[in-house]
Structure 1
């Protein structure tokens, strides 16, 4: 009787897709660490003054971006981290468009949102597995 824990072999296309997805995750992680560290520094104080919710939001956003970046690199957490970054970037897009009125400023967070959504979609099995592990 075959061992039920043995994973089926991935096809070449699945292997290539997995490698591409991990490359995207590493690139996104690098960007979000950079961005999160920038938010924790003094570079965005003026922008967050214009937003008008206080500097606490800058710190929270920076921490969420760094945490999401680290989560993207952990196989078990990568889907959930990508989903969290989708939420953070949705907030950034909405802020740029509706509070700051800067359509050009919304392009980068919208792009990052789309890329994080791609990761979240293709890593949805990790989110499902994580949620099932809490149900046990």
Structure 2
């Protein structure tokens, strides 16, 4: 089970590093998304930083279990915020699916470490 946890942790770290860098660097997709959802652009940057911190904690978590638990919890809670945002603006399931899957995986990693 430890190998599965490490694989999920790596996938989450990689995907949230990409998403966080995209938000912080101001990629067009993220800028337009935050406009569509009615959030200010500074919130995009804050969200990106939170995602980057969570991803880094997951990476450090390969050596420190506490970091992995903290990173997974931060990303899981961030994922819940993303899901609620998609529900708020009545996005399709297709648009919501990725953050839903990532949030579930983050909580799976969180609970696998707690066992």
TM-score scaled to structure 1, two decimals? Answer: 0.75
Aligned residues: 109
Runs of 4+ in 1 over 3 A off after TM superposition: none
Instruction: Specify the alignment match of 1:38 in structure 2.
Output: 22
Structure 1 segment 1-136 matched on structure 2, within 5 A? 17-40=1-24, 41-43=26-28, 44-74=30-60, 75=64, 76-124=66-114
Q: Computing the radius of gyration over CA atoms, which structure comes out larger, 1 or 2?
A: 1
Query: Which range is displaced more, 23-32 or 108-117?
Result: 23-32
In angstroms, what is the RMSD of aligned CA positions?
1.3
SS at match of 1:77: helix
Deviation at 1:102, TM superposition (A): 3.0
Distance 2:90 2:43 in 1: 15
Distance 2:97 2:76 in 1: 14
Distance 1:27 1:50 in 2: 27
Higher RCO (CA < 8 A, seq sep 6+): 2
Unpaired stretches in structure 1, ≥5 consecutive residues: 1-16, 126-136
SS at match of 1:115: helix
- Say whether the 8 Å CA contact 1:83–1:120 is kept in structure 2: yes
The structure carrying a bigger helix percent of its residues is 2
SS at match of 1:53: coil
